[in-house]
Chains A and B, each alone.
Chain A
Amino acid sequence: RKEVEQDPGPFNVPEGATVAFNCTYSNSASQSFFWYRQDCRKEPKLLMSVYSSGNEDGRFTAQLNRASQYISLLIRDSKLSDSATYLCVVILWMDSSYKLIFGSGTRLLVRP
C-alpha cells in the first residue's frame, strides 16, 4: 500500500461546480498535511495547509480526519483557472528529522 494515495482523476467538471478530492495516508504518526497545486510543466506551489479543525481559504476548504486517516480538499464555484493537478503532502516525523511524502496527484479539468 502506498504511503499517500490519491485518485489520479481526471475530474472533469463544469465551471461553477463544487468538487472534492480525498487523500488517504497509511502512517497514523503523520503530523502535518498540505495541499499543493501543480500546473502543467510548472513546479508545485503550496495551496494550503490542513489543520486539525479544518480550514477555509476563499473557495477552498481543507479537512483532516485522523480517525480514518484521510484529508480532503473541497473547491466551490470552480473556475477555469482551477484546472491543475492537486498534490496531497504528508509530513512524517522520525527521530529528530522529518520526511515529506507526496501523493501522485489528482488532476482537475474545469470546462466552460
Chain B
Amino acid sequence: SAVISQKPSRDICQRGTSLTIQCQVDSQVTMMFWYRQQPGQSLTLIATANQGSEATYESGFVIDKFPISRPNLTFSTLTVSNMSPEDSSIYLCSVEGDYNEQFFGPGTRLTVL
C-alpha cells in the first residue's frame, strides 16, 4: 500500500481564517480523496481529486468552502475556508487500492475556536 503523509498533523485556528492541508503520496495515483471525520462520527467523503481536472464534490460540500488543488500525481491540498467551530474535525486524505479499498493518511486534527 502507498505511504501517505499529511501536514499539518494538527492545528488550532481562529474562526474566519483558512487552513490548507497538504497530502503527499509516495507513488503516483490517479485519484486522491478527502474525507472528514467529526468527533464521534464516521467518515464522510468531501471530494475526489483527479489530477488535471476539477475536483468532484459530494452533496453538502462546495468548492468555495473546500477548494482543492491537485497539481501532480503525488500531491493534493485541501483548504478549509472561512472556518467556524463546526469545521472542527479530523481531515483525512486517501488513495484507493487495487480493489477500491482506501488507504488513509494520518489525518489533520483541526480545532476552530
A: residues with CB less than 8 A from B are 32, 34, 41-46, 49, 87, 89, 91, 98-100, 102-105
Contact = CB atoms under 8 A, between A and B. Distances in A.
Contact of A100 (B1, B102, B105, B109): B102
A43 B101 CA distance: 14
B45 A100 contact: yes
Interface of B: 1, 41-45, 92, 97, 99-107, 109
B100 A42 contact: no
Nearest to A43: B104
Contacts of B100: 32, 91, 98, 100
A39 to B, nearest CB: 11
Contact of B101 (A41, A42, A46, A99): A46
B101 A49 contact: yes
